[in-house]
Amino acid sequence: MDGAHQDVELTPRPAKKRRRHQPDLDPPEQLASISAHSEDNASELESHHSGRISPTKQLAYLEDSSEPVVYCDFATTTADIPEDVATLCDAVQALADGIGILGFNPDELAASTGPSTALDPRDRKRFGYAWADDCTERLKTGTMVSLKEVQALVTSAISHEDKRSHEAVWNEKVHQTLIAAALTTSFYAEHLDIANVKTATIDPPDLANQKLPKRVVDYAIVLRPNQLTRKAWETLQPVGNAGIKSWNHTTNNDIRSTPIASNIETKAPNKSWTDGKAQIAIWTSALFKRLALLQQPGQGRLEIPAMPLLIAQGHDWHFFVVSQQLDPVLKKRTTTIWQKIDIGNTRNCFDAYKLIAVLHLVMEWAFKVWRPWFHDLIGWMVEE
């Protein structure tokens, strides 16, 4: 049959219409979440990238290494808790219990909790607890973040949970906002900074267990350079094959000249809790190894102060402390991460103020404890 011949008995059909482009109906913030999700998936350096080894096995590798890294629970441990660990934990536990987290004067408190305010009824009641407001003690570490700002943070956090926002959105809109508010109101803000370390990698790589991914955390509290660190920087020797100077266990340009004082890992609500524990353990143990290399040659074992750590999972924030000690039986150095104090959350203003109070405490510790210790560590580099 001739291919050009048409069967007249076939029912004629209208030509297909080309489908017009449909406008995207997603709200702008959802689009931002999708965009952030795509960007994060494209990055091999994202903090929650877990590699091929499960987080549980990563923790097992750390426990079995020549210099073990172990988690130890405060409630079940039979070991002696170091004094500096206990001091930090006692202070944080009091704030987690809501003791002295507010620093409002009576007039401010009355205005904040009055019936005409938009304060959640539960918050209004809790703000009235006599043991929660203590201007004298609370205002030693920083000023109060305004109630309006905290209410906006809580509203944003609840909204992102309802929308099941991606981790990158939680980081930017909730976690980073909270940390920045705490830094801005800290009395030590001029000496400290918050570094975003999501794209940093452990370098030199041999500072971490070679069987494990070179995992990163999200944020670090760092020391701003001063006259001593700038002078010591001149004589600091480069690290790794790249021949780049760094105070830290990474040669990332954003933080190589600002010594890390504490680490913060943040997760979206649906991310693995165990994953975060593995990340902060790998990252912090590598930092401790780098610090040992900064010690003056010929000195004995480096004594590192107990360091506070924070992990946030969505709304909920948790406090840990990492310390090093010599195992008397195994005769080798063990890094212990003491867990954990559930500080509070961003579901209500009262708990959000707990988080700010703890962040202020950690920042005070970074200035009063870590900063002088680090200066002593590198002091030999500037001696005449």
Give the tens place of pLDDT for each residue, 203-252: 888 898 777 776 689 999 999 999 999 999 999 999 877 689 999 999 98
Sequence-distant (6+) residues with CB within 8 A of 68 are 62, 327, 332, 334, 335
Which residues, listed in sequence order, are joined to residue 334 by a DSSP beta bridge?
325
pLDDT value at residue 64: 85
pLDDT value at residue 65: 85
pLDDT value at residue 114: 66
User: Which residues does the chain have with pLDDT short of 70?
Assistant: 1-52, 77-79, 113-117, 214-215, 242, 330, 384
pLDDT value at residue 77: 60
pLDDT value at residue 30: 45
Give me the helix-helix angle, 147-162 and 176-185, nearest 10°: 170
User: Cα–Cα distance between 219 and 264 in angstroms, integer?
Assistant: 5
CA 94 to chain CA centroid, nearest Å: 21
Residue among 172, 168, 182 nearest 343 (CA): 182
| 303 CB burial (10 A radius; 0-12, 13-18, 19+) | exposed
pTM listed for this prediction: 0.84
User: Cα–Cα distance between 339 and 319 in angstroms, integer?
Assistant: 7
Q: Within a 13 Å sphere around the CA of 62, how many CA atoms are in the beta-carbon half?
A: 30
pLDDT value at residue 78: 59
pLDDT value at residue 115: 67
pLDDT value at residue 384: 60
* Kind and range of the H or E run holding 297: none
Q: What are phi and psi of 243, to 5 degrees?
A: 65, 40
Residue among 108, 181, 101 nearest 344 (CA): 101
Give me the helix-helix angle, 371-378 and 227-235, nearest 10°: 30
pLDDT value at residue 310: 97
| 38 CB burial (10 A radius; 0-12, 13-18, 19+) | exposed
Looking at residue 21, what DSSP letter applies? P
pLDDT tens-digit readout, 336-353: 999 999 999 999 999 999
Question: Helices in 100-224 by DSSP H: which ranges?
Answer: 106-113, 121-127, 135-138, 147-162, 167-170, 176-185
Cα torsion at 219, 223, 225, 229 (round to 10°)? -120
Amino acid sitting at position 41:
N
